[in-house]
């Protein structure tokens, strides 16, 4: 957290215009980022998972395709929150081909 504290200190010295410019750069840098979803090499084969868990997005999408409701998924996976499913479904909409490929690969395994 030391770096975050350093950045906070630097931010306090910037003008509003400079902060706005910096914010635009950060948003562009995050570009394809999805809150609550992360890909970590060495965790679940690097597949996108719900943060704080090892639950891959493809698994949730496959369950949904098989008829599971959000409520059922939340009961089945107690570590999940409703916001996690919102993030997962947004990721699926943006990366449908990737998720479909992961579903196919895991069905073969």
Specify the range with the lowest mean pLDDT, choosing from 7-21, 25-39, 51-65: 25-39
Rounded to whole angstroms, the Cα distance separating 38 from 36 reads 7
Q: Are 87 and 35 in contact (CB under 8 A)?
A: yes
CATH topology of domain 37-108: Arc Repressor Mutant, subunit A (1.10.10)
CA distances from 58 to 11, 42, 63 (A): 39, 17, 9
Instruction: Summarize pLDDT for 72-90 with one digit per residue, the tens.
Output: 999 999 999 999 999 999 9
Q: Are 49 and 58 in contact (CB under 8 A)?
A: no
Question: For residue 74, which of 85, 65, 66 has the smallest C-alpha distance?
Answer: 85
DSSP 95-108: SHHHHHHHHHHHHH
Q: Domain extents for the chain?
A: 1-31, 37-108
Q: What pLDDT, on a 0 to 100 scale, did the predictor assign at position 65?
A: 97
Rounded to whole angstroms, the Cα distance separating 60 from 50 reads 10
Instruction: Summarize pLDDT for 65-76 with one digit per residue, the tens.
Output: 999 999 999 999
Instruction: Summarize pLDDT for 38-49 with one digit per residue, the tens.
Output: 999 998 999 999
Q: Are 52 and 63 in contact (CB under 8 A)?
A: no
């Amino acid at each position: 957290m030391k770096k975050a504290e350093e950045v906070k200190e630097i931010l306090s010295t910037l003008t509003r215009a400079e902060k706005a410019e910096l914010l635009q750069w950060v948003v562009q840098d995050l570009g394809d980022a999805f809150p609550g979803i992360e890909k970590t090499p060495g965790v679940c084969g690097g597949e996108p998972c719900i943060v704080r868990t090892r639950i891959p997005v493809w698994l949730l999408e496959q369950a949904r395709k098989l008829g599971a409701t959000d409520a059922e998924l939340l009961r089945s996976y107690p570590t999940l929150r409703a916001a996690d499913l919102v993030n997962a479904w947004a990721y699926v909409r943006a990366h449908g081909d990737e998720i479909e490929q992961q579903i196919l690969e895991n069905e073969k395994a």
